[in-house]
Structure 1
Amino acid sequence: MNDLHKSSPEEELTEEEFIELVLAEQQKALAEEREQRLQGTKPKKQRPIVKWIVWSMAFVLFFNTFALIFQIYSIPAIDFIKVSTKLSAQEDIQLYKKAVVEISTGTSKGTGFAISSDGLIVTNAHVVEDALTLSVAFPEEGLMEAQLLQSFPDVDLALLQVSADNIPSLPLADNPHFAKGEHVYFIGNPLAFTGIANEGTLLETTLLEDWQEPVMMMQAPVYKGNSGSPVLNADGEVIGVIFATMKQVSFGRVGLFVPVQVLQHLLNTYN
């Protein structure tokens, strides 16, 4: 049975969940330190020998933990940062990234991208559902308030609008043909990072339970936060919108995206 994931946790600890746990603990430690400073309290001083023992034990635990994680997962999250750095050196990828935004709702974040110079933005419906506030951050234009124009939960897409002119945007592909093995790019804000470019290969379509429209599978490192990321072909045209991952019998863990034809149909209906 296929195992579809948008933002819900999986039964076993994945590499992205591990990194999130580490980041959460770091934030917790910093918050406690700030609270102590505000209250004017200081941690109790330890004798040098006690400090040395504590730090030695902490170092051993730290080393052993990360050695185990490297053996189990080989930290693919580190790999996608390396890939992003390499891809981001390309002029075309640099251009595409200008149109990709980080969407903040007050309680979570996701990805979106502009498809018109007057600020029309596409993302997933689940990214903006129950939003307390809604704002988007462009790499160069900065933070802007956004308005939810329309949500389409049946295909997990949503349209946002910002008040701006001459916004960098991405073109939509005109009825593309999805060839198995085709190389694609995608840009988003996975885990605690922003503006991460990555690549993958197309697999085949699949029909999800309770969905009328088929979606596309791709072999690619898709993580939490990539929801709403544009999938781009070799010409820099959007061919789909990432919305989830899934454990599939034949291919293992795959990324899923809504084909651009579905988005174009919604745009024609909306307009």
Structure 2
Amino acid sequence: MKEDKEQFEEQKYEEPAPEDFLFDEEETEEDEKKKKRKSWFIRIVGLSIATLLVMQGVGTLFNHFSRDSIELARTSEELSEQEHIAAFKDAVVTVQGNTSRGTGFAIHPDGYILTNHHVIHQQNPLAISFPSGDLFHAEVIESNEELDIALLKVDGDNLPYLPIRERSALEQEEIYVVGNPLTQTQIVNNGEIINEEVPFQTMKISNSIFPGHSGSPVLSEEGEVVGVVYARSLSPLGSQEEGHGLAVPVERILAEIPELNQLIDSY
């Protein structure tokens, strides 16, 4: 009897554990709906990201293997079989900024590079890669927005370069363009000057021009620079006329950037 009484008193005065004060809240129907909505939202976001990545990959492949890319590569391969044209490519570089890529070319063995202003605008740092695999950091010496021409300098010497021709190009003169269009590099195509007026304020060329060609040299048959590609014109709506390439004539560049004349004299 005494033992029963002691057990009763122990049970009576035993302190409850902290866990005893906790209780499970019953999940309301509204809470359950919120969880489901959140789950679906996460799934949709994940699916959207995955879809965009797939589309980007497919777009890149399509761009690379598109008819234009294949035709450019075929023409370039045929032209590059000519030894003197293959040599032109040694001086044509890839200009890589933090968010964009374009073309440029060396104009002096000490590492002076010409390209477009819009290729290097707000792009920092700038990397220059030569076909040989040599990679350099580039400094902007001068950039002319109105002319859309930029002069860069890399710390190199005895680099391959393209000479600048001081006299103007002529209408129907045969020319070559070497650049990095679409996803390709070191692509050569041929064409001719199609302007009707001399001197040219803007050089119109028949060569096929695509994104990535900006900053490409327009070369004479002797490999001299007669212009710098900066854009392609669009055909008028409803017109069967094809667009054409646009380049800055070398005589305008020499007039606006006096440093180039000094570089030419130092060849």
Could you tell me the TM-score, scaled by structure 2's length? 0.69
Bigger strand share: 1
Greater radius of gyration (CA): 2
Whether the 8 Å CA contact 2:191–2:207 is kept in 1: the answer is yes
Corresponding position: 1:225 with 2:212? yes
How far apart, in 2, do the equivalents of 1:242 and 1:223 lie? 10
Whether the 8 Å CA contact 1:87–1:93 is kept in 2: the answer is yes
Whether the 8 Å CA contact 2:174–2:192 is kept in 1: the answer is yes
Corresponding position: 1:260 with 2:259? no
How far apart, in 1, do the equivalents of 2:102 and 2:69 lie? 17
Secondary structure of the residue that 1:194 maps to in structure 2? Answer: coil
Whether the 8 Å CA contact 1:205–1:217 is kept in 2: the answer is no
How far apart, in 1, do the equivalents of 2:128 and 2:138 lie? 6
Unaligned runs of 5+ in 2: 1-52, 263-267
Q: 1:82 — aligned with what?
A: 74
Change (3 A) 1:28 1:269: closer
Secondary structure of the residue that 2:203 maps to in structure 1? Answer: strand
How far apart, in 1, do the equivalents of 2:166 and 2:257 lie? 13
How far apart, in 2, do the equivalents of 1:214 and 1:80 lie? 28
How far apart, in 2, do the equivalents of 1:258 and 1:236 lie? 17
Whether the 8 Å CA contact 2:177–2:207 is kept in 1: the answer is no
CA RMSD, 1 decimal: 2.8
How far apart, in 1, do the equivalents of 2:186 and 2:69 lie? 14
Residue-pair matches, total:
203
Q: 1:25 aligns with which of 57, 63, 68?
A: 57
Change (3 A) 1:133 1:184: same
Whether the 8 Å CA contact 1:205–1:216 is kept in 2: the answer is no
Change (3 A) 1:269 1:132: closer
Which of the pair has the greater relative contact order for Cα pairs under 8 Å at 6+ separation? 1
- Structure 1 residue ranges, 4+ long, deviating more than 6 angstroms after superposition: none
Q: Percent identity?
A: 38
Corresponding position: 1:237 with 2:205? no
Q: 1:191 — aligned with what?
A: 182
